[in-house]
C-alpha cells in the first residue's frame, strides 16, 4: 500500500474502504498479524525525537492519516492523501464489519471501567458484535476464543509499544492503537460536532473542554516548524 513519509514517519495513502479491505484480507491469512497505527502531529514529533519509537511506527502494517495536521503537512510537501481517516470513526467502521462477519473484538485500556462502558455502547449500536474482552489491563485467558481485532487505548507511545512487543505472542490477529477513542464512544468525553471535525478544528474543541491538554498541544507548533523546515530544505534541493 502506498505510503507518504511525514518527517520520516510513514502514513499510508488510502481510503477507509481500501484500509478496511486490507484488514479483511489480512484476517483471512493464517498466521498473519496486523498492526494498525494512527500517526498524528504529536505522535510524529515524539517519533522525531525518539528513533526507537519511529522504528516501531514504521514497522506497522497500516498507518492511517488520522489528523488534519498530517493532511496539511503532506500538501505542503507536495503530496496529497486521498482522505483523512479519523481513528475513532475507523474503529467503529471495523466494529460494524466485525458484526457482519462474526469477527471477535477486544477492548484494552482507557480509564477505570471505560473499556467496559465502551463495550456496552458498541453493543447498543451493533447488538451482534462479539466482544470477548474488555478491560483496562491485559488479563486474557488463553482458553477463550482468539481475538480477531484488539483495540488498544493506552495513549501513545505506550499503546504502540505494547502492540509491537505483545502482538506476536498473544492470541490476537490484528491490533489497532486508538488513543482516546474509548472516551468518545463511551461518552466519557464529548466529541466535537461533525462540522467542526470537517473543517479540522477538532483539536481546538478538545482543548477547550480539556484545557490541561495545552502543554501537549504545543507539539503542534513544533510539528509546523519541522514541516516548514523540511519544505524549505526540499525546495533548496530543486
Q: 126-144, pLDDT tens digit by residue?
A: 999 999 999 999 987 767 7
Q: Give residue 193's pLDDT.
A: 72
| Contact by Cβ (8 Å): 148, 105 | yes
Domain range for residue 208?
Answer: 3-237
Q: Give residue 2's pLDDT.
A: 93
| Global confidence as pTM | 0.89
Cell 511506527 sits on residue: 57
- Return the C-alpha cell found at 61: 502494517
User: Residue 28's Cα: distance from chain center in Å?
Assistant: 22
| Contact by Cβ (8 Å): 70, 224 | no
| pLDDT average, residue stretch 167-174 | 96
**9-12 and 3-6 strand pairing:** antiparallel
Distance CA 95, CA 104 (A): 9
How many domains does the chain contain in total? 1
| Contact by Cβ (8 Å): 26, 52 | no
Q: What is the pLDDT of residues 20-63, one digit of tens each?
A: 999 999 999 888 999 999 999 999 999 999 999 999 999 999 99
Q: Give residue 238's pLDDT.
A: 45
pLDDT classification of 117: cutoffs 50, 70, 90: very high
Strand-pair partners of 176: 36, 151
The pLDDT > 70 percentage for the chain reads: 87
pLDDT classification of 237: cutoffs 50, 70, 90: low
Strand-pair partners of 106: 133, 150
Q: Give residue 154's pLDDT.
A: 96
Q: What is the pLDDT of residues 180-219, one digit of tens each?
A: 899 989 987 766 677 677 666 676 666 676 666 666 667 7
- Compute how many other C-beta atoms are within 10 angstroms of the C-beta atom of residue 74: 19
Distance CA 86, CA 83 (A): 10
The full DSSP string for 99-152 is: HHHT-EEEEEESSTTHHHHHHHHHHHH-TT-EEEEEESS----TTSPPEEEEEE
Largest CA distance in the chain: 59
Strand-pair partners of 131: 105
Distance CA 127, CA 135 (A): 19
| pLDDT average, residue stretch 69-76 | 93
Q: Give residue 235's pLDDT.
A: 62
Amino acid at each position: 500500500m502506498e505510503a507518504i513519509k511525514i518527517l520520516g514517519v510513514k502514513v499510508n495513502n488510502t481510503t477507509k474502504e481500501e484500509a478496511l479491505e486490507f484488514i479483511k484480507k489480512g484476517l483471512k491469512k493464517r498466521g498473519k498479524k496486523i498492526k494498525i497505527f494512527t500517526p498524528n502531529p504529536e505522535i510524529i514529533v515524539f517519533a522525531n525525537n525518539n528513533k526507537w519509537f519511529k522504528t516501531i511506527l514504521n514497522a506497522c502494517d497500516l498507518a492511517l492519516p488520522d489528523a488534519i495536521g498530517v493532511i496539511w503537512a503532506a500538501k505542503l510537501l507536495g503530496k496529497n492523501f486521498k482522505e483523512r481517516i479519523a481513528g475513532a470513526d475507523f474503529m467503529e467502521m471495523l466494529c460494524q464489519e466485525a458484526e457482519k462477519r462474526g469477527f471477535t473484538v477486544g477492548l484494552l485500556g482507557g480509564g477505570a471501567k471505560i473499556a467496559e462502558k465502551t463495550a456496552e455502547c458498541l453493543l447498543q449500536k451493533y447488538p451482534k458484535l462479539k466482544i470477548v474482552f474488555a478491560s483496562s489491563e491485559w488479563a486474557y485467558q488463553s482458553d477463550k476464543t482468539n481475538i480477531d481485532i484488539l483495540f488498544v487505548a493506552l495513549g501513545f507511545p505506550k499503546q504502540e509499544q505494547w502492540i509491537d512487543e505483545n502482538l506476536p505472542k498473544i492470541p490476537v490477529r490484528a491490533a489497532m492503537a486508538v488513543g482516546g477513542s474509548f472516551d468518545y464512544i463511551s461518552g466519557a468525553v464529548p466529541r466535537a460536532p461533525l462540522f467542526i471535525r470537517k473543517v479540522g478544528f477538532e483539536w481546538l474543541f478538545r482543548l477547550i473542554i480539556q484545557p490541561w491538554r495545552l502543554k501537549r498541544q504545543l507539539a503542534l507548533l513544533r510539528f509546523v516548524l519541522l514541516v516548514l523546515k523540511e519544505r524549505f530544505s526540499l525546495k533548496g534541493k530543486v
